[in-house]
Amino acid sequence: PAKVIDGKLVAKQVREEIAVEVTRMKDAIGIVPGLAVILVGSRKDSQTYVRNKKKACEAVGIKSYEVNLPEDSSEEEVIKHIASFNSDPSVHGILVQLPLPRHMNDENILNAVSIEKDVDGFHPLNIGRLAMQGRDPFFVPCTPKGCMELLHRFGVEIKGKRAVVIGRSNIVGMPAALLLQKANATVSIVHSQTKNPEEITRQADIVIAAVGVANLVRGNWIKPGAAIIDVGINPVDDPESPRGYRLVGDVCYEEASKVAGAITPVPGGVGPMTIAMLLSNTLESAKRTHKFK
Ligand code: NAD
């Protein structure tokens, strides 16, 4: 059976390492990393995400700043707040919680974030640098960065290996494919229009699945011994659970864990890594700004 890639455990280790570094920096130069979070509207799920991010900051000693704007705010108002965080030296990371209200243009808003404080890594210039040979972005998007961190920490060799990324979204699939390529894997991207996805996936030594379809990837899609990173978080009905549902990944865990060499569970795999990488990006930004090694 496959080795379980325990993201919850790794995320805890990463958070502990960050806490140590935050203290070391504060003691040495008196600087505390700061993260600003902008939330527009009152979506319950977004409020929960923002609350969790704030709590995670506090736990490692990162200062958090929050702005809540009403649903009917204008783009200009949001951009005004971004601009003020851009010029605030106590803020090293700025994050605009997505999705934004329908009347706003995501690109206009994300473009307003200084690329040097873009800890989500969603600014087109950061994505562009991620795609270029010999260049590095200021920040790598948190979820794909978390996937790579799991592969590294579990000793999965990437160089020269075949990797398949299922899904090509701007926040997960596309940057994950770029990162694997930068790490010298040979990468294929499987998406909604791909013919014979199972045949292509079966060639992969490394699979990253970020689709949003419960149990799409079956055991017979997987090459024996492959490393599987399952990003999907999908609710499925479960009358036995108190909430009436439970969460499963894009990969059928029961089948895949019999074939794969290593696999992330859902929940407890990639999920906990995302916030840990946000903290890591914020610390990295503060260190870079203050030239602290
Ligand atoms: P998305 O909807 O933006 O993108 C899904 C991608 O999957 C698209 O590129 C599409 O082409 C592809 N796709 C759709 N159907 C397909 C099919 N049948 N076969 C192959 N490809 C198909 O989703 P996203 O934002 O990338 O998120 C994907 C999943 O990851 C979701 O379940 C989401 O909840 C989860 N997610 C988890 C984290 C985390 O762990 N922290 C973060 C972000 C997203």
Could you tell me if 148 and 265 lie in one domain? yes
Q: What does the pLDDT read at residue 232? A: 98
Could you tell me if 151 and 224 lie in one domain? yes
Q: What does the pLDDT read at residue 137? A: 98
Could you tell me if 150 and 267 lie in one domain? yes
Q: What does the pLDDT read at residue 281? A: 98
The closest of 157, 97, 140, 117 to 277, measured between CA atoms, is 140
User: Which of 169, 213, 228 has most ligand 1 atoms within 8 Å of its beta carbon, as the pocket-test mutant?
Assistant: 169
Q: How many domains does the chain have?
A: 2
Q: What does the pLDDT read at residue 236? A: 97
Q: Report, as ranges of residue numbers, the positions in the chain whose pLDDT lies below 50.
A: none
The closest of 60, 51, 58 to 11, measured between CA atoms, is 60
Helix axes 271-289, 7-29, angle to 10 degrees: 20
Could you tell me if 54 and 160 lie in one domain? no
Instruction: Read off the CATH number of the domain in which 215 is found.
Output: 3.40.50.720
170 CA distance to ligand 1 middle (Å): 10
Q: What is the pTM of this model?
A: 0.97
Rounded-to-integer distance, Cα 166 and Cα 211, Å:
6
Instruction: Read off the CATH number of the domain in which 96 is found.
Output: 3.40.50.10860
Annotated catalytic residues are 53, 97, 120
Residues with a CB atom less than 6 Å from ligand 1 = 143, 166-169, 171-173, 190-192, 197, 210-213, 216, 231-234, 270-271, 274
Q: Is residue 157 part of a domain?
A: yes
Range(s) of the domain holding residue 41: 29-114
Q: Whose CA is nearest to atom 31 of ligand 1?
A: 212
Q: Whose CA is nearest to atom 5 of ligand 1?
A: 211
192 CA distance to ligand 1 middle (Å): 10
Q: What does the pLDDT read at residue 146? A: 98
Q: What does the pLDDT read at residue 130? A: 98
- State whether ipTM is beyond 0.85: yes
Are the C-beta atoms of residues 77 and 103 closer than 8 Å to each other? no
Could you tell me if 172 and 209 lie in one domain? yes
Q: What does the pLDDT read at residue 150? A: 98
Average pLDDT value over all residues in the chain: 97
Could you tell me if 80 and 167 lie in one domain? no
Q: What does the pLDDT read at residue 255? A: 98
